[in-house]
């Protein structure tokens, strides 16, 4: 028989009072389909700036939001 199965106890008791909050629980991930030419441009820009693609996309979207707010207010 497998020694791993033999080593398992029939019951385990976990102390959840020592648990840490999940730091990833509040992060939201959204998948967005980009057109090929847009993706190529953003990937090249990210490479030139030495930043992750997600940072480039978020920065551009934040700037667009600021422009929209400036025009609509």
Residue-by-residue pLDDT tens, the chain, 73 positions = 556 667 888 888 888 888 888 888 887 888 999 999 999 999 999 999 999 999 999 999 999 999 999 999 7
Inter-CA distances, 52 with 29, 55, 56, 65, Å: 15, 5, 7, 20
Q: How many structural domains compose the chain? A: 1
Q: What is the pTM of this model?
A: 0.60
d(CA 68, CA 64): 6
d(CA 19, CA 68): 43
Residue span of the structural domain in which 22 resides: 3-72
d(CA 57, CA 46): 9
Tokens encoding 57: 């996309």
């Amino acid at each position: 028989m497998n020694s791993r199965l033999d080593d398992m106890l029939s019951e385990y008791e976990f102390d959840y009072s020592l648990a840490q909050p999940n730091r990833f629980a509040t992060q939201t991930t959204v998948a967005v389909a980009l057109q090929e030419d847009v993706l190529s441009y953003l990937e090249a820009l990210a490479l030139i700036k030495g930043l992750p693609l997600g940072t480039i996309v978020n920065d551009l979207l934040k700037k667009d939001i600021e422009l929209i707010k400036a025009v609509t207010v």
